[in-house]
Structure 1
């Protein structure tokens, strides 16, 4: 019906109305997306406006590509058109969309990102810091651009149009390198994730295996923030000297840390050590660095706490789905006050909810995963053969419906298919951005995303939109995409030199590398081979499904159960702190002191949450028992103590103990009969397995070690 409405009218007014409505829908969707990750009222305008356009313009480009494909039909073939616009409107739209995206990606968003992360108070100082931080990046980009410009001038001479073409071609090539790699990873990870999550028990097992590592990261983030809060607390005590010139700044830092109302410290700090972390001379650079560290630590804590809460909620719901298999009734319990109105709305009955979550959604995930897997295969196939046999491209067959001698026409169905293909390619690339862990800890947090992270993610969205859109256009035959305004605006500059032509057709073949790397888990193999300590992509799930070495799924299961039941030490500490207010840090239990004779150097120490007097991080961390303070002893005395403690803990091997069990001493050596031997053996202290074979007695004396 929609296709017939637009096909029977030769006026562009219905198409313009449809485009205006689509732009309105896109604007509302972008605002809802911003509202999900940012607080709109508390976010400054210098952040909202650029981020809004950085998300809105790529969506507009995804809308312009199908319209441009259908607008190149000749006037006598109006019936084959879907939604179309005049050439002048398309040219103006492409110019505005492309150059705004270019300026946002390369200049505005990077400068504003460092501006928001500067830490200085004055706007001038923040801007200077941002320019200095981006200077190195711009020098590298300009150096590479100068090489390309010299090659182009040497080949074709210098003209302004040639200079503009070089800039656009280099920008496209750099964006295509990043887009192809990220898209190749997402084309595998998205279908595989859907198929894996179709298994309820498997999804719960993966959540439990991921819990210990995530909990440890959350504890590290909390401890890091607390250390910075202690540093700010020590700094706030400075009222004289150089600190007197920055009292307002120091007070703002104290308010940012919320020190008076902050929850109690988890360890017993060393006041002498903490007083040394604050320099003698307080400078603006030091305060800016401290402000930046505090802001990053607060957002890192918010990120991991949000991830942990979502993991707990998902694990609880998944466990409830598994438990409902016997009763055939599913009830997730009462929703929290922070839940949305949609989550609080109850429509289904417990039995229908059980059917939905236990049967329908798993099969729906499998079906959608298989369909997206086939779509990924079609995209990869089209990438590989577009330069050799473009007529066999599956994407071309789904978009071009009216095949003619000149190539074909695109109607409304083809436009809808093209929009879906572009959407899936962009989602595959953007999904990889959230999975790759080399982005300096940036993350999207519900209603609390850091400003620098918001700028960075918006920049990636804008950077990937144009290369992916033009790469999709090249899946079609030349007789179709060379007639578009998009090709005349960008494509001719990309293909202006032989280097650009070969790059456009040969480089997408490298999409196979991220595809196979993700499909067969090559990232983990390469990391283990070379001993890298970072995760390029989170593929530990394939390489280490049991989680050995980082906390097994059993440990994660116990950890999740303690958190959900409210019996964990951290929950009890928080509850006690909330009840006690500012009366001080509650001590739930203090373990009894160990005697010197029973101290073991490999004793397992609990988490610093489980023992308020310790500061060990992680749910399963192990550390050496802290020795008593020995500041008054000299080096040789301390060395003797450590050597003695080590000798005390050495047990004689069992095979060495049993060497003389079958040999009796002769009487002239003082041997006794069997009863006497048994009696003497029973007279030894209980629990002793050494048979008086202490290694220290081999050296004579009473067992003392003398240096």
Structure 2
């Protein structure tokens, strides 16, 4: 009876968990508000995306609570947040199966539904089901071998089917988690170290500017082509187009085309290509056109926002560098699209200069060093996890377990905080890699204007990777700890049900070394060049771990990017003039197809002379003039050996033979039968003012013709 009275009450922990859940919900709503317009987004889109973000965050909160509940300390002062076993089991069941349903069924169907292009909901649903049927067939075919082997060994039952599905889903997610996390564990600290060098940061922004500017211009041309097709379709009032009058009007309104339509293209060939619409208009054609229009609008908005952000970052970095002379940093006019915190001016120009020029680089170096140690600890723990149970060499285990009672590990409140930080960093490494690796069919997250299909896809990846990543973290601890958790009783026993699943869970994380080395030593750039996708080495290869391999084309690209940024800051950008002319040409306030965000004004004087962006043969043109530029203006972030190599190459290229070597042979005259004479005419040397000797004259060929006659 005394033990029952003195038993700790879970009410304070339950209140804390409830408040933490409310806070996590608020954070998920803020994330949604940052990437999507909440008022314009349908509710049946917002709710699944919200849960796809909220549930992984709840898992990050639930894992430390589960650790402390299964191995809580006996001291009330160090005891962490804990919950009863039944509450934890119900929480894990709800969280896991909601995440599973969102990942494999709800989000993929809604993603294709939003990208269908059809007008009627039934047609959208049929398009989505047909598109996902191929995906489900591939997944089912890949899992048939595992299903058959389990059924033959353990018999067919609903319980065995559920166990196989959960184990296969975990293994499939673990493959992506290890790859993405390995990439992020290297890229996040390296980005902090590189941003600490202001000169290098500005040079990288300028090097990325030409490619991004060209993508923005290409997206504009693509959008104009699609809008021209919609305008031509709107002018057609006969035949099968009459059956889709309302649909065409909706597309024209979406494209911002006025009632008078767009003016025909100035180029006749382009006009003929744009007007190449089918004679018979079908529903499939209308759906394809609507899908292309929506994608083109979002692509245009994406590149405009990325370009504005790059220009703003370059302007701010240049302002910090320029403040070294005046010891004052003026922020200038605030960007209306920036956050309220960035528009707030608290510091004086001098203190702002001290903060951004002297303090922030060291802060980035310090954070990069801390995160580098964290990355090394995670990689070490992943590699030696299979040996850590016996030799106790897991670094994460020692940072989480702070209390030992009779060789029994216990997790207190401090261990819960540390485990939360570990999981957050592992999630950040994996989720950051999703946005950095550009292999996702042009999908991107755009502030306040993310396409619905992209939002569904990214939220699906977040939900898919949360459970494998959390359980992978739990297995990095001691076996005496994680085998007692409710998470292991719910999912871990199913994974360890067969020897194959257990060894896969322990051995596969060793392959984290592949993405780590690939990112650290620039293997992606080497593979691209080997396959022919990157013949010219640019600063992108340097970002992938190849410092020192910089071509003259890279030196020309950053100069071109610098000119493009200066021209945009001065207000003379071609895209800006085009965007300002489109509303005037289309009508008052109409015809703007994409949001034109404001760009901060130039912080210095006038813009420097610029070159027009080069398309197609731009790399060759930059290589042609790069040798002179590299000699006149060496790059600032080169090390000693790179600078010495540049100087030696330029010296050899501009080497002139000495006078004594040029005068050899001036005193030797050719005989007349070889075409020579006693005078200066036809002399062989460099002196005398005669034409230089050419062996082709022996065979009857002239110097000017350049031919040899036999």
Q: Same fold by TM-score, threshold 0.5 exceeded?
A: yes
Name the CA shift for 1:74/1:459 in 2 (closer, same or farther; >3 Å): closer
Name the CA shift for 1:146/1:35 in 2 (closer, same or farther; >3 Å): same
The answer as to 2:483 corresponding to 1:485 is: no
Using the alignment, how far apart are the partners of 2:521 and 2:704 within structure 1?
54
Residue correspondence of structure 1 range 440-589 to structure 2 within 5 A: 440-532=441-533, 539=541, 541=543, 542-543=545-546, 546=550, 548-549=552-553, 552-575=557-580, 582=587
CA displacement at 1:555 relative to structure 2:
1.1
Q: Secondary structure at the match of 1:392?
A: coil
The corresponding residue for 1:152 is: 150
CA displacement at 1:60 relative to structure 2:
0.5
CA displacement at 1:532 relative to structure 2:
4.0
The corresponding residue for 1:420 is: 421
The corresponding residue for 2:304 is: 305
Correspondent of 1:132 among 109, 127, 130: 130
Name the CA shift for 1:340/1:80 in 2 (closer, same or farther; >3 Å): closer
CA contact (8 A) 1:263 1:577 kept: no
Q: Secondary structure at the match of 1:408?
A: strand
TM-score by length of 1: 0.80
Name the CA shift for 1:505/1:265 in 2 (closer, same or farther; >3 Å): farther
Using the alignment, how far apart are the partners of 1:67 and 1:73 within structure 2?
10
Name the CA shift for 1:619/1:329 in 2 (closer, same or farther; >3 Å): farther
Using the alignment, how far apart are the partners of 2:466 and 2:433 within structure 1?
14
CA displacement at 1:340 relative to structure 2:
3.2
Residue correspondence of structure 1 range 150-229 to structure 2 within 5 A: 150-229=148-227
Q: Secondary structure at the match of 1:184?
A: helix
The corresponding residue for 1:371 is: 370
CA displacement at 1:197 relative to structure 2:
0.4
Correspondent of 1:66 among 61, 64, 67: 64
Using the alignment, how far apart are the partners of 2:560 and 2:216 within structure 1?
16
Using the alignment, how far apart are the partners of 1:194 and 1:310 within structure 2?
18
CA displacement at 1:387 relative to structure 2:
1.1
Structure 2: any 5+ residue segments left out of the alignment? 1-5, 589-610, 623-667, 682-688, 690-701
Residue correspondence of structure 1 range 264-279 to structure 2 within 5 A: 268-270=267-269, 273-274=272-273, 277-279=276-278
The corresponding residue for 1:232 is: 230
Q: Secondary structure at the match of 1:388?
A: helix
CA displacement at 1:694 relative to structure 2:
8.0
Using the alignment, how far apart are the partners of 2:471 and 2:210 within structure 1?
43
Using the alignment, how far apart are the partners of 2:56 and 2:271 within structure 1?
54
Q: Secondary structure at the match of 1:403?
A: strand
Using the alignment, how far apart are the partners of 1:571 and 1:139 within structure 2?
47
CA displacement at 1:78 relative to structure 2:
6.2
The corresponding residue for 1:291 is: 290
Q: Secondary structure at the match of 2:112?
A: helix
CA contact (8 A) 1:116 1:452 kept: yes
The corresponding residue for 2:139 is: 141
Name the CA shift for 1:576/1:139 in 2 (closer, same or farther; >3 Å): closer
Q: How many residues align?
A: 614
CA contact (8 A) 1:436 1:538 kept: no
Correspondent of 2:32 among 31, 34, 37: 34
Residue-by-residue CA offset, 1:97-137 (whole Å, 9 max, x unaligned): 00000000000000000000000000000000000000111
Using the alignment, how far apart are the partners of 1:519 and 1:51 within structure 2?
34
Using the alignment, how far apart are the partners of 2:69 and 2:424 within structure 1?
20
CA displacement at 1:51 relative to structure 2:
0.4
Residue-by-residue CA offset, 1:197-227 (whole Å, 9 max, x unaligned): 0011110010011111111111111111111
CA contact (8 A) 2:33 2:448 kept: yes
Using the alignment, how far apart are the partners of 1:341 and 1:397 within structure 2?
41
CA displacement at 1:575 relative to structure 2:
4.4
Name the CA shift for 1:173/1:233 in 2 (closer, same or farther; >3 Å): same
Name the CA shift for 1:119/1:81 in 2 (closer, same or farther; >3 Å): same
CA displacement at 1:399 relative to structure 2:
0.7
Residue-by-residue CA offset, 1:628-682 (whole Å, 9 max, x unaligned): xxxxxxxxxxxxxxxxxxxxxxxxxxxxxxxxxx99999xx9x9x999xxxxx9x
CA contact (8 A) 1:324 1:330 kept: yes
Stretch of structure 1 that moved more, 558-567 or 325-334: 558-567
Name the CA shift for 1:266/1:465 in 2 (closer, same or farther; >3 Å): farther
Using the alignment, how far apart are the partners of 2:412 and 2:295 within structure 1?
50
CA displacement at 1:74 relative to structure 2:
7.4
Structure 1: any 5+ residue segments left out of the alignment? 1-7, 584-605, 611-615, 624-661, 676-680, 682-691, 700-707
Using the alignment, how far apart are the partners of 1:156 and 1:405 within structure 2?
40
TM-score by length of 2: 0.80
CA contact (8 A) 1:335 1:344 kept: yes
Using the alignment, how far apart are the partners of 2:263 and 2:525 within structure 1?
40
CA contact (8 A) 1:111 1:134 kept: yes
Residue-by-residue CA offset, 1:540-593 (whole Å, 9 max, x unaligned): 63448757557521111111111111233343444455667759xxxxxxxxxx
CA displacement at 1:79 relative to structure 2:
6.4
Using the alignment, how far apart are the partners of 2:72 and 2:201 within structure 1?
54
Using the alignment, how far apart are the partners of 1:543 and 1:384 within structure 2?
26
Over the aligned positions, Cα root-mean-square deviation in angstroms equals 3.5
